[in-house]
Amino acid sequence: MGRCMLIINPTAGKERAKYYKDDILRQLRKMFAHVELRETGRAGDATLWAKEAAENKYEAVFCMGGDGTLNETVNGLAQANEPIKFGFIPLGTVNDLARALHIPLHPEEAIRMLDDCKIVKADIAKVNDKYFVNTVAAGILPEAVGKVSIEQKTRLGPMAYFLTGIKALQSRETSLFKIETDLGTVIRRSPLVVAMLTNSVGSFNNLAPCAKVDDGKIWLAVFKEFSYFDIIKAIPEILAGLPINSEFMTLTQVTRARISLVDDECLSTNMDGDKGPDFPLEMEVMPSFLTVYVPKKTVSAGFIPLVVPKELFHG
């Protein structure tokens, strides 16, 4: 039993961390000889501390917070690039990685899960000089969801992002993307491009339903230009959990990609729920980088993937 660092964001999840801090400390002290607690006070703390723990040969790093805290912690582990185990207690609105790994979304259950857990490997990916664990998105949708208020997230949860996104798509604004991958190069006009590592995106699992946390792939979705009737048709299918039809988007698996804007325009990106890097986006998967604590018993559901034939990515 070695050393463990626990990083807590006290403001995450409507400041709920204080209700679970003693529980997670008690659990970790059963698993490790020494547990060091650190509570974030500003952006970047989790990255700095996770890197420090990995470089100092701690056995594990745990974090408790939302998607932003999770992303910061993983960025610190990636910067250190040292073998270390990782665990997290989700407190965010969406918690996509927790959903993909079948980690309970309620903090009490996620802590209790550590009594009977296992470790699995999970991919991350590098984009420019940062790392992500779930998604990088660009287009009208990320622009809109970045403006979702804390009040909306509190009241509606993940549905706040969905409703805001549907409203944004009705504007029919698009951008011209140049997408270079290990399959070839294409230029596409699109309202939304999403690079995914898991099957959960904004709490929905129908964009890349067959994506696995350890498949060594980036699942790249390029949405087609929407009409109003396309949106009306797609909404029931999305809410029903059905895989998104190929008439609405193309989906392919790559290990690296470079995405740039053909037109000279300013377009922001979203990475794991927060503001992402500027264009061009240089992405590369880092297979099985994380060693993560997850429940021993998991249930997975499968769908038929909407994968684009490789021939369409040439020329």
DSSP characters for 194-227? Answer: EEESSS-BTTB--SSTT--TTSS-EEEEEEPPPP
What is the predicted pLDDT for the residue at 215?
A: 96
Q: What is the full per-residue pLDDT of the chain (315 aa) written as tens digits?
A: 799 999 999 987 677 788 899 999 999 999 999 999 999 999 999 999 999 999 999 999 999 998 889 999 999 999 999 999 999 999 977 788 999 999 999 999 999 999 999 999 999 999 999 999 999 998 876 655 556 555 655 555 555 555 566 666 666 678 899 999 988 999 999 888 999 999 887 656 667 888 999 999 999 999 887 665 666 666 666 665 656 666 678 899 999 999 999 986 788 898 987 889 999 999 999 999 999 999 997 644 333 333 433 433 443
What is the predicted pLDDT for the residue at 11?
A: 84
What is the predicted pLDDT for the residue at 151?
A: 62
- CATH class of segment(s) 3-123: alpha beta
Structure token digits, residue 170: 């009705």
What is the predicted pLDDT for the residue at 202?
A: 65
Main-chain dihedrals φ then ψ at residue 227, nearest 5 degrees = -100, 170
The CA-atom distances, in angstroms, between 110 and each of 93, 219, 298, 313 are 15, 27, 13, 41
Q: Does domain 132-287+299-313 have CATH number 2.60.200.40?
A: yes
Domain map (residue ranges) of the chain: 3-123, 132-287+299-313
What is the predicted pLDDT for the residue at 173?
A: 78
* CA 295 to mean position of chain CA atoms: 19
What is the predicted pLDDT for the residue at 310?
A: 44
Which one, of 61, 78, 80, 84, lies nearest residue 5 by Cα? 61
In three-state secondary structure terms, 127 is: strand
What is the predicted pLDDT for the residue at 201?
A: 73
In three-state secondary structure terms, 147 is: coil
The CA-atom distances, in angstroms, between 190 and each of 18, 141, 174, 224, 255 are 43, 11, 5, 5, 21
Contacts 24+ apart (CB under 8 A), 52-55: 52/5, 52/76, 52/80, 53/3, 53/5, 53/84, 54/80, 54/81, 54/82, 54/84, 55/80, 55/82
